[in-house]
Structure 1
């Protein structure tokens, strides 16, 4: 099987899957490998998520959500991260 190599543009990023009661986040990047954690959606828990991302020096994220559950997550994380909201259908 042939492998493609792409130029690394974002050094440390994350994927965020937002549910009604939890947020599942996977980080990946230079020097941090791959790690996945789950957080509740209360403000205090989202603050812990933000602290974790900052401690890992994550700068960018792609967030997927159905409904309006993404809004509080986006409001808290977008102050420190470059976030994009994506539609799972796309």
Structure 2
């Protein structure tokens, strides 16, 4: 996190948020959201925990906490803005968001990239 002013050695750079970096925001709000994100990450069977663990594996714990804070803030804005109740997507949302046909196509493509041959058929519904 960094302030909107970014200069070093007499060279001024843009103060806009760069990819992967968030603006500071109010300290109290950031503190509360961080605690909420850490609590959500320890809760079993919810979307926020699954998303936290997926990001933590690729980017690290601090980035995952930041992403979870953002998820909580986005959910809050939808809840307040649209006046709806919170509906958790579920821990398996990251798997369910793609159709079974799409998942099969991705797996076939991965196997072919490794040099294998595969024929996949979907069961009739």
Q: TM-score scaled by structure 2?
A: 0.18
| Higher RCO, Cα 8 Å, sep 6+ | 1
Structure with a larger share of its residues in helix: 2
Please identify the structure whose Cα radius of gyration is greater. Answer: 2
Structure with a larger share of its residues in strand: 1
